[in-house]
């Protein structure tokens, strides 16, 4: 029996959240909701010229995430045991805080708040954590051209924003932080089983739980 019905799995760029979501959903007949980041036409330009394209790329993500989530919620399959997604709507605010200047962020936050209050909250929020060296290695390995401009500082800033988010929302839903720096859940079945058990078959009573592997 699964402990949660609406599960979010997030993490920094290159941590493997989408891969893990796909494996869990396929094995357990779950509704799979993936972020369609590749459809954002401004993303490659943003990585090259972040100051110029930051507001445009964040507003495009905001609109896309809202449209996708709303459509998926309306199309819920009653025969699926749970929903699993590789992003949460709050992600929009986390990344925007790092990429926008203060004036742009205040304007952006007004649009965000209008939408966010109407969105459903997850039953379990999972954050996959890996150190920056591992993230940079993963980013290089998967070879997306527009990601090769990402710096260690940018990844550290995103990580910091996530941890601030956890402090602010620790009473909103259970937060599970999984330190997977030393795991290879793609090729190692034992590593995958550890994460599977932690995410699907374990109940958490504390606002924030952190597990190391």
- Which pLDDT tens digit goes with each residue over 19-72? 999 999 999 989 898 887 666 788 888 888 888 999 999 999 888 888 877 776
Q: Has 181 been labeled as part of a binding site?
A: no
Of 212, 210, 193, 201, which is closest to residue 23 (Cα–Cα)?
193
Q: Model confidence at 190, in pLDDT bands (50, 70, 90)?
A: very high
Q: Which of helix, strand or coil describes residue 35?
A: coil
* Angle, CA of 53, 167 and 22, to the nearest 5°: 65
- Computed over every residue of the chain, the mean pLDDT equals 89
Q: Has 11 been labeled as part of a binding site?
A: yes
pTM of the full predicted structure? 0.85
Catalytic-residue membership of 81: yes
Q: What CA–CA distance (Å, rounded) separates 65 from 105? A: 18
Candidate list 64, 81, 123, 157, residue with the active-site label: 81
Q: Model confidence at 163, in pLDDT bands (50, 70, 90)?
A: very high
Q: Has 163 been labeled as part of a binding site?
A: no
The mean pLDDT of 144-152, rounded to a whole number, is 87
Q: Model confidence at 165, in pLDDT bands (50, 70, 90)?
A: confident
Q: What CA–CA distance (Å, rounded) separates 68 from 74? A: 10
| Cβ proximity of 112 and 96 under 8 Å | yes
- Walk me through the domains of the chain, giving residue ranges and CATH numbers: 6-212 (3.40.50.300)
Q: What is the pLDDT of residue 64?
A: 84
- Around Cβ 166, how many Cβ atoms within 10 Å? 17
Q: What is the pLDDT of residue 95?
A: 87
Total residues belonging to the chain: 213
User: Looking up tokens 């030393």, which residue turns up?
Assistant: 182
Q: Has 101 been labeled as part of a binding site?
A: no
Higher-confidence residue: 32 or 146? 32
């Amino acid at each position: 029996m699964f402990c949660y019905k609406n599960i979010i799995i997030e993490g920094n760029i290159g941590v493997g959240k989408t891969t893990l979501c796909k494996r869990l959903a396929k094995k357990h007949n779950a509704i799979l909701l993936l972020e369609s980041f590749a459809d954002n036409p401004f993303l490659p330009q943003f990585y090259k010229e972040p100051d110029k394209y930051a507001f445009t790329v964040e507003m495009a993500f905001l609109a896309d995430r809202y449209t996708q989530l709303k459509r998926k919620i309306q199309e819920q399959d009653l025969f699926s045991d749970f929903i699993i997604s590789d992003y949460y709507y709050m992600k929009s605010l986390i990344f925007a805080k790092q990429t926008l200047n203060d004036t742009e962020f205040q304007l952006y936050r007004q649009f965000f708040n209008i939408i966010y209050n109407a969105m459903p909250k997850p039953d379990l929020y999972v954050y996959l954590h890996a150190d920056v060296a591992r993230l940079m290695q993963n980013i290089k390995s998967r070879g997306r051209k527009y990601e090769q401009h990402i710096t260690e500082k940018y990844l550290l800033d995103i990580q910091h924003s996530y941890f601030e988010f956890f402090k602010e929302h620790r009473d909103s839903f259970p937060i599970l932080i999984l330190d997977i720096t030393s795991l290879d859940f793609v090729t190692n079945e034992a590593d995958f089983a550890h994460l599977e058990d932690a995410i699907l078959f374990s109940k958490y009573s504390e606002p924030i739980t952190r597990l190391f592997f």
